[in-house]
Structure formats: C-alpha cells, structure tokens
Amino acid sequence: MAPSLDDANLFNFVVRDGNGVKGMVDAGLSTVPQAYLQPPKERIDKDAARKHGQPPIDLSKLDGPEHDQVAEQIVRAAESLGFFQVVNHGVPVELLESLKDTAHDFFGLSPEKKAVYRAEVSPTPLVKYGTSFVPQKEKALEWKDYISMQYTNDDEALQLWPAEIKDVSLEYLRTSMSMVRKLLQVLLENLGVKSDDLIIDVLLDKKMVNMNFYPTCPNPDLTVGVGRHSDMGTLTVLLQDGIGGLYIKIEEDSEFGKKGEWVEIPPVQGALVINVGDMIQILSNGKYKSAEHRVRTTSTKSRVSIPIFTMPSATAKIAPLPQVVEKDGHALYREFVLADYMKNFFGNAHDGKKSLDFAAINAA
C-alpha cells in the first residue's frame, strides 16, 4: 500500500524500497506529490517550443558518392545543435520495435522483481535499477524509473543482465556500434585527426544500455521526466518511442534556431537520435557541442526510451586534441582523468551543462 502523498515515507516508498514512480502511479495517484513539483523556471512549456524540422540523415549514403555531403550534415549538426536523427543506420527496425515492447514489459513486472537490482542490493555492479537521477541531492525529483546495464563482454552481459531484457539489449548494442564508429570517424576527420581504430577504441571503451520508463503523470506541466543536462560521455544513441517529449536547447544562433530556444525532437519511425557528449565537446576544444536537453512527461500513455551511452575508460586522461589546440591557439579545457569527471557528474543533480565547468579553464 502506498503512503499518503504528504507522508514523509513517500521518498522511502519510491526510492529506497524500489517501487519507483510507477509504483506510486499504480497506487492510484491523482495529483503530483510535492517532491516532484518543479520550480516554474524548470517546467517545460510544450506550446512555446517548436518542433525540430530537419529530416533524419541517411547514413547509407556515407558509403557512396554522397559521402562528403552526408559528412557535412553530421558535422554541421554536431557543431550547432549537438543532436541529429539518423535512418538506414544498420540496426534492424524490427529490433527497435522489440526493444520498446520489451522495455514496457520489464517495467510492468512486480516491484519486487525490479527492486532486486537496486544499487544497494544488486547481485552485480553492472546492473542498477533506480528512479530520478540523484534523488538524495535533488530539490525536485524527476518523473522517471530506469534500469542501467554496463557492458564488459557478451558472456557477462548474458550472465548478469536481467533475463527479461538481456538478449534484445545486447543485440541493440552489437548492431549499433558500427554506426557509432562511422560517426566518430567523420567527426574526428573533420578536426584534422586521423581516426585510426586505436583512438576510436579508446573513446568507446565503456558502453552502457539503459531503459528509461516515464509513467503517465497527472499533470505534466508541473514535472519533468529528466531535468536539463548534457550527457557526459562520447556519443549517445537514443531510441525514442512514438510519444515524444525530448527537448533540446539551442546553444548559439544557427539554421536550427535562436540561442536559448528549446526545440522538440519529434519521433521518426525507424530513426535513432544521436547526441554529442561532453567528452566530444572537450576533445574538439568546443567546436562540437554537447547539447543541453530535457524530457517532458505525458498524461496520456507511459513512455519509454532506450539510450546507449559510450565513453572512454575511467582511467583515461582527457584533454582537447593537440591538433585542434594548435589550430585554435589555446585550450578551453584542462587535462583530467575521466573518473574524476564522472564523480563530479554523478555526485550532483542535473543542472544544464554545469558539469563542463569541472574541466573548463578560467571557469567562472
């Protein structure tokens, strides 16, 4: 039985007992609890945001005579918006549909079956079930539950990832990596860096598949599914379902819109969303932008999204690439060990792109 909405035990019920937002909604919630009320400046005005109108990039053309034009589209999006959608990416569309169905099925399991993977009790450090982002440090909680699966190798994934989702999640990861490598090659070559397998292997050393679940919300105008943030890694691959709710902040005036404007990335059947992470912004000395983004909730139907996060190893030393610094004349970011950046990123609530201040030279 869920506690009353003004009960101090609500936090325990949702977070510590592993019931998640879904458990709260399933208990018959009709209003948004105080703990989830976002301050007005963080709320998402759906009517004020326009939809991003750029068509998806056809990646099949990278291997043909239109390679240079497609590469230019990728570079332009990475430099200005930090997000773009791709089709003909090599991941079977049937697999994408299966992923969405599997995610809904997993979050439809009993709380007890999901809660065994809470960080405090999970049988493996590779799998974590949770809610919000850093609940203990957030002024307002995010309307989201998730399961996170770190990848080390196929054998450990098949042995340790949840049985209900391991096969389809692993196939998603396997079939996506060729695309990710191609995209990274395009971005590096545009910087004047010879993109051999070694540097790409370093930048994609660590991989993680998440399934995010956004239950229906009594009043989406008062909440957020995910607060403003940029992804900390190299590149993120994201599968949206058909409901939508992903919003991107435009960092500077461009063909995509005006600085500070929020645009919605509408779902496209069969497409994947690619977003630039903080590590690419730092390596490019700010030429590429890790996009600030957030997610709106919905009152009509529960939403799922399935991202693949890629990043260097925790022990890797990260700094702007010397070829880029030589051309620019100065570095915008200092060298650091990724583990220290991760500790800062995961130790704080979402707050736009503030995480980049950790590495910025002369950050205010």
Q: Hey, what are 220's tokens?
A: 């989406």
Please give the DSSP secondary-structure letter assigned to residue 36: G
Q: How far is the C-alpha of 336 from the C-alpha of 184, rounded, in Å?
A: 21
Q: Hey, what are 274's tokens?
A: 């690619």
By residue range, what is the domain housing residue 175?
7-312
Residue 356 lies in a domain: no
| Regions of the chain with pLDDT less than 70 | 1-8, 133-137, 349, 363-364
Q: How far is the C-alpha of 84 from the C-alpha of 338, rounded, in Å?
A: 25
Distances (CA, A) of 345 to 209, 230, 252, 356: 18, 10, 24, 9
Which residues are CB-neighbours of 133 under 8 A, at least 6 positions away?
Answer: 142, 226, 227, 229, 349, 350
How do strand 317-318 and strand 235-240 relate by DSSP bridges? unpaired
Residue 337 lies in a domain: no
Place of tokens 């909405």: 5
> Alpha helix locations (H) across 13-146?
20-26, 67-80, 93-107, 111-115
Task: Describe the strand order of the beta sheet including 246-249 as a list of residue ranges.
Answer: 50-51, 262-264, 246-249, 293-295, 226-229
Q: How far is the C-alpha of 70 from the C-alpha of 186, rounded, in Å?
A: 10
Residue 8's pLDDT is 62
Residue 136's pLDDT is 66
Residue 322 lies in a domain: no
Residue 2's pLDDT is 41
Residue 359 lies in a domain: no
Residue 361 lies in a domain: no
Q: Which of helix, strand or coil describes residue 229? A: strand
Q: Hey, what are 285's tokens?
A: 């000395």
> Where residue 285 sits, what CATH number does that domain have?
2.60.120.330
CA distance from start to end of the chain: 48
Residue 134's pLDDT is 65
Residue 202 lies in a domain: yes
344: nearest Cα among 353, 128, 211: 353
The answer to whether 312 and 234 are in contact (CB under 8 A) is yes
State the total domains in the chain: 1
Residue 71's pLDDT is 97
Contacts 24+ apart (CB under 8 A), 153-159: 156/126, 157/126
**pLDDT tens digit sequence for 202-238:** 999 999 999 999 999 999 999 998 888 899 999 999 9
Residue 69 lies in a domain: yes
Please give the DSSP secondary-structure letter assigned to residue 66: T
Residue 132 lies in a domain: yes
Place of tokens 């007005």: 40
Residue 196's pLDDT is 79
What is the per-residue burial (b if ≥16 Cβ within 10 Å, else e) of 263-291?
Answer: bbbebeebbbbbbbbbbbbbbbbbbbbbb
Residue 151's pLDDT is 98
Quick one: residue 90, left, alpha or beta (phi over 0 = left, psi -120 to 50 = alpha)? left
